[in-house]
Structure 1
Amino acid sequence: MINTVKNKWKERQRTKQDFEEIKAQISVEAVADYLMQKQGKNYIYPGERTASIKIYPESNSFYDFGRATGGDCVRLWSHIKGCDSWTALNEVRKTFGLNTPDKQHSRELIAQQQEARKRRQEAKKQKQERWIRQVDELKTEVDLLSAIISSGHCEPLSWLWCVCQNRLTTVEGKLDLLCGI
């Protein structure tokens, strides 16, 4: 029983790896150019007159607005040809001469993509932490300035009161900008 589960898991990992290798080697745009006619920046679904499929090269994906579906190069092939993903994978391999993929090179590409994704996520997390820190600092300053103004220790329209009031207005403006208000 345990060996059966392990074998199924290994087979699933190999299958997933096959799809990742193809996605790393072939772009959605290349598949779209092969299968469809281009109209401007978009593509025409076979048998139609107007373009409804948009290609996104930066994410190596597509979206068919007429059928509300999208995905990667294998998904585009299966969408246009009307076949399952495994058949689409094998047809993409055959059509683009990828029958004998360089597994080491593909693994390196996949590792590089995963590392880049991890760096982007870390940068996003750091940016969010900086934002939170800035908002907290500004809120603390608003509380301090409000306390000084309302404490009664400085007379309204005195020099100190005016300085605190001006700074409070500036800090609240920065908070509004940071919070998108």
Structure 2
Amino acid sequence: MFQALKSLSLKRWPWLLLAFTALLFEASGLYFQYVLNFQPCIKCIYIRAAFLGILVAGLIGAFAPRHPLGRFVANLAWLCAALYGFWQAQELVAIEQTLASGGFTTCALFADFPSWLALDRWFPAVFEVTGTCGGVSWQFASLSMAQWSKIIMLSYSVVSVVVLASQFSRLNKNPYRD
């Protein structure tokens, strides 16, 4: 299994597929915002930033799939972005649960991106906070958007760890050998 995963990671299309899936999730977030009028909270924006990180990681991997350092950087960026997205989604789920149980909680109204990565100022249509945390206005299969984001980011994280672990396996030089 690890040899097959490493062999796949040496090709361009799996990395492009990773970038494409992240792009689809970015597009779905924008669809929810601009078509269905669900305004994103700070945690939603940070989850969008994590999807952007995964998209960029996929592009890095697609740019240099045969270069070990390129694959390592891409995989590390993928893992970091997915874990960050999972953490933000977990916090949003906790906020939703607190509010659902009658508690009170609040979150920031403005993004706190570092000055060298001011996504909210560079791309306000995508990364500007326009909503507040905790309101569950959409569910699918009895899970909120935050819960789905948590599952998706956890899945990205697990796959990234497995692909990263596969990089330490050796590929067979003889394709006819078992």
More strand, by proportion: 1
TM-score normalised per structure 1: 0.27
TM-score normalised per structure 2: 0.27
Larger CA Rg, structure 1 vs 2: 1
Relative contact order (alpha carbons < 8 A, sep ≥ 6): 1 or 2 greater?
2
